């Protein structure tokens, strides 16, 4: 790769505790194209969850890594993923975001494919020449892999096995999946929003505890107000967010930030201050069952700790008050689409699911919630600021050399180290931790 600037894209100087990212990484079309090739063209990408298509014929349509795809459960119950392009002249074969179908008929000239992708109908077939091979014109598929219900695709010809690529991320997916007695399922419905900012700014934001109090000030004022009106003890709610954090680099750029969950898991309302007896009892019941099922140590980790998880490169799981899945889809250097779902225990119903969890999700993570609009404003503001030029680098050195367990930008550094290696076509680093930070 020819240098885009005389200076490196990522400045990583452990001796001085300096970590900087060149702003070209967020603005350059050339870098965006390299990401498409070396990151989205090579890595296993998150596509969706098996529970989104429970019955034969169920399908969902997605754009992942710039490519149109759809995932369908075939007539035998097997999950299949197809590139969403007709083998005739290219039209999108699947034209709805979700549904159920026995066959997929292309609207342009009516070629028809079954749920296994086979071409089963061609109008005026007899008029094609002798070389026309219907059996070779089925829909094409990327590589597909699943782990604990999470479905991934890979566009390269010779990818590593999914499990090897997941590396330590498997444990986080296990912790997420183990919350449920009967399995976690994606709740019907999704949120989709577009951001005028680079995709990596949204990834950074999702593991950024440094921004919580300043950016989400309105939210904390709102909590304080609620606490006051409900006669809860006085106190600054934002203050209580200063909690110990544990960052674990999981390999291949995946990283998790674990901290005691604010609001009490696994069915948090706004805040324990506001919960009241009924919620406390519900939380305790779920917790007791989880501990009985998973044992004391793991049970506590599942029910008491929250986690912000980056699956490199395109999935974020914020598993705190609710379990929020965000698929990050880069559209252009300064444009990103987010497709967001909620994952819930299959067995959970009643007030737990429909009041506590839904309310918590909608009021905080939803695009009309009290957090996401602030975050979108913040990342769009950064992208707008980059146009100033002049300032070459962003600084991501917070917490670099400190041995305490306070707020740190380490999760972002883990992400960027992987990004930097891949973008140069280099082998992935073997260690992602800060060389001198003891964590």
Instruction: List residues near ligand FES by CB under 6 A.
Output: 86, 88-91, 106, 108-111
Encoded tokens for 224: 């304080």
Burial of residue 92 (CB within 10 Å: 0-12, 13-18, 19+) is: middle
- Closer to ligand FES by Cβ: residue 68 or 145: 68
CB 93, CB 107: distance < 8 Å: no
- Closer to ligand FES by Cβ: residue 91 or 294: 91
* C-beta atoms surrounding 9 within 10 Å: 22
Place of tokens 């999700």: 361
The CA distances from residue 15 to 11, 350, 412, in Å, are 12, 54, 18
- By CB under 5 A, residue 245 contacts Fe ion: no
The entry of ligand FES, Fe ion, none that residue 257 binds, CB within 5 to 8 Å by partner kind: none
The entry of Fe ion, ligand FES, none that residue 89 binds, CB within 5 to 8 Å by partner kind: ligand FES
- Closer to Fe ion by Cβ: residue 44 or 364: 364
Q: How far is the CB of 121 from ligand FES (least distance, A)?
A: 10
Q: How far is the CB of 371 from Fe ion (least distance, A)?
A: 5
- Closer to Fe ion by Cβ: residue 282 or 375: 375
The entry of ligand FES, Fe ion, none that residue 122 binds, CB within 5 to 8 Å by partner kind: none
Q: How far is the CB of 89 from ligand FES (least distance, A)?
A: 4
The entry of ligand FES, Fe ion, none that residue 375 binds, CB within 5 to 8 Å by partner kind: Fe ion
Footprint of Fe ion on 342-401 (CB under 5 A): 375
Q: How far is the CB of 103 from ligand FES (least distance, A)?
A: 13
Distance in angstroms (rounded) separating the CA atoms of residues 13 and 18: 5
Q: How far is the CB of 48 from ligand FES (least distance, A)?
A: 24
The CA distances from residue 394 to 11, 19, 383, 410, in Å, are 10, 9, 11, 14
Q: What is the largest CA-CA distance in the chain?
A: 82
The entry of ligand FES, Fe ion, none that residue 91 binds, CB within 5 to 8 Å by partner kind: ligand FES
Question: Nearest 5 degrees, angle CA 258-CA 426-CA 408?
Answer: 25
- Closer to ligand FES by Cβ: residue 43 or 139: 139
Distance in angstroms (rounded) separating the CA atoms of residues 199 and 235: 36
Distance in angstroms (rounded) separating the CA atoms of residues 418 and 355: 39
- Nearest CA to 147 out of 97, 79, 83 is that of 79
The entry of Fe ion, ligand FES, none that residue 103 binds, CB within 5 to 8 Å by partner kind: none
Total number of residues shown for the chain: 439
Q: How far is the CB of 372 from Fe ion (least distance, A)?
A: 8
Q: How far is the CB of 326 from Fe ion (least distance, A)?
A: 12
Q: How far is the CB of 144 from ligand FES (least distance, A)?
A: 23
The entry of ligand FES, Fe ion, none that residue 108 binds, CB within 5 to 8 Å by partner kind: ligand FES
- Closer to ligand FES by Cβ: residue 95 or 211: 95
* C-beta atoms surrounding 131 within 10 Å: 5
The entry of ligand FES, Fe ion, none that residue 435 binds, CB within 5 to 8 Å by partner kind: none
Q: How far is the CB of 205 from Fe ion (least distance, A)?
A: 6
Encoded tokens for 228: 């006051």
Bridge partners for 67 per DSSP: 64
The entry of ligand FES, Fe ion, none that residue 409 binds, CB within 5 to 8 Å by partner kind: none
CB 53, CB 188: distance < 8 Å: no
Encoded tokens for 377: 């404003």
Place of tokens 């000030």: 217
Taking CB atoms, the residue at the shortest distance from Fe ion is 375
Residues that bind Fe ion (CB under 5 A): 375
């Amino acid at each position: 790769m020819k240098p885009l600037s005389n200076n490196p894209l990522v400045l990583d100087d452990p001796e001085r505790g300096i970590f900087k990212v060149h702003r070209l990484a967020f603005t350059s079309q050339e870098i965006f194209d390299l990401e498409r090739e070396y990151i989205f063209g090579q890595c296993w990408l998150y596509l969706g969850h098996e529970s989104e298509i429970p019955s034969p014929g169920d399908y969902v349509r997605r754009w992942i890594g710039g490519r149109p795809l759809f995932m369908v459960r075939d007539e035998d119950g097997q999950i299949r993923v197809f590139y969403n392009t007709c083998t005739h002249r290219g039209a999108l074969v699947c034209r709805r975001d979700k549904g159920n179908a026995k066959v997929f008929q292309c609207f342009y000239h009516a070629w028809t494919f079954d749920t296994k992708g086979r071409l089963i109908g061609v109008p005026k077939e007899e008029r094609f020449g002798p070389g026309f091979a219907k059996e070779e014109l089925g829909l094409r598929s990327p590589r597909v892999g699943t782990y604990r219900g999470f479905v991934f695709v890979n566009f390269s010809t010779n990818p590593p096995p999914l499990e090897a690529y997941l590396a330590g991320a498997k444990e986080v997916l296990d912790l997420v999946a183990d919350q449920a007695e009967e399995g976690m399922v994606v709740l019907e419905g999704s949120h989709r929003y577009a951001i005028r900012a680079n995709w990596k700014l949204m990834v950074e934001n999702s593991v950024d505890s440094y921004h919580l109090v300043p950016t989400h000030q309105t939210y904390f004022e709102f909590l304080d107000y609620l606490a006051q009106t409900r006669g809860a003890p006085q106190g600054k709610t934002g203050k209580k967010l200063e909690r110990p954090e544990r960052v674990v680099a999981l390999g291949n750029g995946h990283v998790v930030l674990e901290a005691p969950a604010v609001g009490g898991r696994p069915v948090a309302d706004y805040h324990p201050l506001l919960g009241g007896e009924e919620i406390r009892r519900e939380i305790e019941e779920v917790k007791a069952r989880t501990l009985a099922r998973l044992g004391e140590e793991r049970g506590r980790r599942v029910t008491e700790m929250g986690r912000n998880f980056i699956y490199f490169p395109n999935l974020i799981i914020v598993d705190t008050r609710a379990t929020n899945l965000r698929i990050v889809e880069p559209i252009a250097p300064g444009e990103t689409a987010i497709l967001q779902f909620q994952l819930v225990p299959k067995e959970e119903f009643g007030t737990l699911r429909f009041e506590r969890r839904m309310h918590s999700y909608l009021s905080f993570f939803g695009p009309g919630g009290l957090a996401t609009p602030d975050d979108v404003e913040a990342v769009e503001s950064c992208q707008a600021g980059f146009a100033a030029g002049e300032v070459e680098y962003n600084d991501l050195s917070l917490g670099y050399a400190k041995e305490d367990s306070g707020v740190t930008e380490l999760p972002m550094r883990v992400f960027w180290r992987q990004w930097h290696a891949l973008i140069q076509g280099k082998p992935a680093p073997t260690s992602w931790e800060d060389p001198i930070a003891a964590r």
